[in-house]
Chains A and B, each alone.
Chain A
Amino acid sequence: MISLPGLNLASQPIEPLNVPTSTATRTQDLSANTEYRFEVSFSRTLTVKLQSGTAEFFGTELAPATTYTFQGTKGAIFTWHGCKLEIGGEVESDYVAEETPMMSCANLHFALENLRDKSVSSGSVEMGPRVLVVGPENSGKTSLIKTMTSYAVKSGRQPMVVNLDPRQGMLSVPGSFSAAAYSSIVDIEEGWGSSPISGPSPIPVKMPLVYHYGLKDPEEGKAFKPLVTRMALAVTSRLEEDNASKQAGFIIDSSGAISQGKNGVYENIEHIVSEFSVNVLITLGSERLYSDLARKFSNQVRDPSESVSVIRLEKSGGCVDRSEEYMKALRHAQIREYFFGKGDETLAPSSQMADFGDLNLFKLVQESDNAEYRPGDYDASSSPIYEKITPSAALQNKLLAITTASPNERQEVIRDSSIRGYIYVADVDEAKKKVKLLSPQPGQTPGNAMVLGSWPEDIPGLVS
């Protein structure tokens, strides 16, 4: 079932009152093939340390001597061999699950490994597996992809991960689409890890290619398909130059929205499959989605080498509906992390003033249902993509995407350009025509085209 954010009455309040404060730790024994599931709020922390045995968090193995700290996380620690965990801090809820989908995950991983071996033995002529994971919201897509990625890295591969879900960023903020190769371990505490920072990082940084989408749902915007196409071009081009990535292939994360379909038609899924030449399509949960897609792709008369394997994996019992409140907190945490870092690795963003005239702002034109069709439009949508705006108080608390495009470029070029990063509008002084910005980097505000979307929403109080 599709979860409705904010309507999830069964879920616990984000901030339970009267949480007993405890500094004591306890020991949790896990038998083989079970997992410890927990939910921890953004204002509390959970610590986990592996005392004996083996354990993994979405595929990444817990180091024996390290204490991991979780905050604002709903996750699970799984063991293939059994383990003893030392657990501290406070959780909203936790329990041990006997039934997990991990065997399926492992099977999938080893099946993908077969394809990667084939690519290797073809001398990188063949490309490794191109995987797309689809399913409703909260069906465990990202968790599965993390596990697949971790296993691939563990197997000595260098898989590429592509995030096309604007609700959650990967190595960037929500509202962005990104792609990165993972040659080193996937971080346990930081989600997908960190994009480059100017200093050393205790976990190797990942190098994402980032585009700005700026809307909540793929179905919402006409920029979705062109950006998918653009991303596919870039990823495919990269893989042609990079044998390690080509052999490992890639895994695409998607928004739950594209799995809803319209009358059994999944336009955006098909677009992604087609643009990325996806050959393994994983559906999570929904049987309807699986049968629709299996029929769709098995019916296609294709070259056998281009056939799409459609597979359904069970949704993990550990998948919990995440309330809109939680998702919002998660988004804000991601944005905060982008500027300020996380945990011990604090970053120092730069506060700067800019004149109105310094900013070349392009605002995404929101489409309305009574928009008219105009001949020549791509995907029956109407131009323009953006309207040029001058700064105003409405900009306050918003994120601006710094594109790599000049403001004089055509709008399609601006839309398709990857971005350098985001700046945050801390304050707007309309009288003085000045804007106070928070930039990740010191130095002058770039004169590139900046794009303002409606997603993520305002983030008040990022700079206090």
Chain B
Amino acid sequence: MSLPAAEVAADFRDALQDLRLNSRPEISNLTLIAKENTEYAEAISTELENHIRSTRPEWKLPALYVLDSIVKNVGTPYTVYIGRNLYRTFMDAYLVMAQDTRKAMEGLLRTWKMPVPESMDPRPVFPADVTRDIENALTKIRAAVQQQVQRPQHALPPRPPTNVAWRDTSTPPQNLPRYAAPNDPRARPSFPPTTPQYGPPLHTATPPMQYQQPQQQAQPMSSIDLADLKSEVTQLISTTQTMFAHNHADLALRTKLQALLSLKQILDTQTLPPQQLEAVRQQIRALAPPPAPSTPVYPPQHTLPTHFQPNLPSNFPPVTAPPNSAPPNVAQLLAGFRPPMQQTPQPASTPNPPAFNLVDLLKRVSSPAQSSSIPAPAPFQLPFQGFPPPNSTPMPIPQAAAPAPSSTPTASLATLLAQFNKPAGAPPMSQPMPMQSTPVPQFPPQPNTAPPTLGSAEWLLKALGSVPGATPAISTPIASQQMARQSSAPFNVMDQIELTTVSMKKPRLHLISRLYEAKPNICATCGRRFESTSEGKEKKARHMDWHFKVKDPDAAKRGVHRSWYMPEKEWIEYKEVDETSPNHTSNDSNNSTSSGAKPKKQAKDRYVSVPQDVALQQAPCPICQEKFDTVWSVEANDFVWMDALSVGGKVYHATCFEEYSKGAGIAMPGTPDSVLGKRRAEDAASVNGEGKKVRAF
């Protein structure tokens, strides 16, 4: 059972990689793997996130459905793990999606704000703060798109205007995204620093986005070149993955891998200006062993064979794009990226320099605008040295100096890519996100026990106020007594039979007497046994009476038919009636002497058989307009209405009619106090107080 996490994760990954269509069986299968391996939920969640991030845009949606299915059908701990990075997972995918797929993703998001269908758990699939961040980002994207509607070559089709004012979205520094610190003592040691480093707050006021004027001095790289670059990246990813598979603890590798995956995604889905592509290429080459066939570097005069023209902001402000503005085109941000150090020189005392990489960059594209009113502490105020490293991996010595500031996008990208070579350095210092602060080691797999909501039968939920074995029920000693063992011999220690396979095989023939000799008095008709006590004899007598009664040939003459089954609610409230218990012997009024407390022949004791006629079955009491209580009567061997009286073809509540008849001065119809006329149920309730009442409501 204890497959190593890596093995489980690999299985899961293999299955994921086959998923290219929205196939319910495949998604079910993946969900099942996840469900069966909740102890490896973290590894599986990471696989899933990586896959969504790295797979082709058209395959992302099926993978997101896997995510959806897992969080809805398995729930925790997946909701915790996946929730931590959900913003990124979702937004990264969203940004590269085709428009119709975005709609599907928005549909998913809607369901995540609601409880799991059929679940009794009223909480939404993901915590509200997680989905709200995404929601906010989507709103802003729409707004941004709205602003750019006029731009014909925009990556996003226009969307309806939203009410969100663009100016309102500016991000004060304290609202910069906060990332979990790997060395946060509350976080899991192995928590992946997917967001290893983040720079200081850069700006105190965010200028409005300026996306205008595509900058197009440079010629794009040729597509052939691009393909080569992509394949290099892919190869590098594969190499890094292999390394990472052998060393999961290596945070730097992980960071690098993620950055590469992100890069690949950008290459796959965005069009970058040639300078950046060239920079990327050089970085990649530096990272990877040179490929055997050397690819000629095309002169910049080459043009893209497509009509596409990347949009490059020319007047991009010398600050980073507001993280919350989430423009639809990553290339724009890439192009506009500036290292923050340029703008905001930080004190030299900064022990850990801000390091940037694609992961950070992507965050800028897709980070949520934290609406939290709690200001995040300035990261640099926390001394790095005060924190222990998150795991045994030796932390790299923080660089003394920030990367050289660069004035060109290419250079900044180079800086960024240079981070690939470095291990993930200083941990981020900012506050962990709420989800991340949840300690999750050994999260007990929460069994999928939440019963579904029950549609129109909410009453049932109420009835379920307890789980087996855990609920202090109202104990009824009399009932317990009655159900106590009838064989007098108490179990001795030897009889405490262990519930094990081995124990079941041991011969214990001496116990069999409890099924036979303990009750020596057998009914010759049906084989039921009774004790030889006087109580046993009484029971047997009543039992024999019952045999006699049900053999009544007259009763058999009327057309006997199968009755409808009992409705659920009545069944829940129904109590079995044993034909040997005193309360439903065939009556003759006085045989149950102990029932003296009960006044006889009360109106409420009267009943009629439930009418065969459906219209009559539905008819309420003509006086009070309420329906009748249907109960099963053992004696009548039929469903009956209690407290009921048939007068002139209509059925009334006997008590209603009694009241009416008193007022009207008419006599109550006579009660056929026959064999079936006795209220066994009432007797039961009064005889032993055990509540063997058969009432349905």
Contact = CB atoms under 8 A, between A and B. Distances in A.
Interface of A: 54, 60-66, 80-81, 103-104, 106-108, 110-111, 113-114, 117, 120-127, 130, 151, 154-158, 172, 181-185, 188, 195-205, 207-210, 226, 229-230, 232-234, 236-248, 262, 265, 267, 271, 274-277, 279-280, 290, 295-296, 299-301, 305-306, 309, 311-313, 338-339, 341, 345-350, 369-373, 375-382, 402, 404-405, 409-410, 412-413, 416-421, 440-444, 446
A443 B473 contact: no
B501 A312 contact: yes
Given A110-B497, A203-B526, 15 more contacts: A80-B516, A122-B475, A130-B468, A204-B634, A233-B451, A236-B464, A237-B464, A237-B572, A247-B483, A275-B451, A290-B501, A311-B499, A311-B504, A370-B25, A372-B22
Interface stretch (B275-283, B320-328, B561-569): B561-569
A396 to B, nearest CB: 21
B327 to A, nearest CB: 27
B575 interface: yes
A110 B72 CA distance: 41
A161 B512 CA distance: 23
A244 B498 contact: no
Interface in B370-412: none
A185 B527 contact: yes
Given A204-B634, A420-B564, A380 B1 contact: no
Contact of B23 (A114, A120, A207, A370): A370
Contacts of A244: 479, 482-483, 575-576
Interface stretch (B82-90, B185-193, B440-448): B440-448
A444 B637 contact: no
B360 interface: no
A341 B562 CA distance: 8
Contacts of A290: 501
Interface string B559-601: 1111111111001111111110000000000000000000000
Chain A CB count within 10 A is highest, among B65, B456, B526, for B526
Contact of A126 (B469, B571, B575, B615): B469
A446 B565 CA distance: 13
A240 B463 contact: yes
Nearest to B692: A244
12 contacts: A66-B527, A114-B491, A123-B475, A124-B473, A184-B579, A199-B638, A200-B551, A347-B560, A378-B72, A379-B73, A380-B24, A443-B614
Nearest to A290: B501
A440 B563 contact: yes
A418 B565 contact: yes
Contacts of A275: 449, 451
Given A202-B551, A373-B22, A240 B526 contact: no
A158 B576 contact: yes
B554 to A, nearest CB: 10
B505 interface: yes
Nearest to B26: A373
Nearest to A311: B501
A209 B574 CA distance: 11
A433 to B, nearest CB: 21
Nearest to B611: A443
Contact of A234 (B31, B448, B460, B527): B460
Contact of B27 (A103, A237, A373): A373
Name the residue among A130, A267, A373 with the largest chain B CB count within 10 angstroms.
Answer: A373
Nearest to A115: B499
Interface stretch (B164-172, B194-202, B415-423, B517-525): B517-525
Q: With a 10 A CB-CB cut-off, give which of B118, B477, B519, B577 has the most chain A CB atoms.
A: B118
A244 B463 CA distance: 17
A158 B565 contact: no
3 A-B pairs with least C-beta separation? A123-B475, A199-B560, A440-B562
B571 A207 contact: yes
B550 interface: yes
A48 to B, nearest CB: 12
Contacts of A157: 483
Contacts of A369: 25
Given A114-B496, A240-B466, A54 B516 contact: yes
A182 B561 CA distance: 22
Contacts of A442: 559, 561, 612
A295 B28 CA distance: 23
A26 B577 CA distance: 40
A123 B566 contact: no
Contact of B563 (A271, A381, A441): A441
A202 B637 CA distance: 11
Nearest to A376: B111
B567 A418 contact: yes
B506 interface: yes
A198 B563 CA distance: 6
B563 A196 contact: yes
A243 B108 contact: no
A237 B24 contact: no
A309 B111 contact: no
Residue with the highest number of chain A CB atoms closer than 10 Å, among B491, B496, B512: B512
Nearest to A131: B499
Contact of A209 (B480, B519, B524, B566): B566
A337 to B, nearest CB: 9
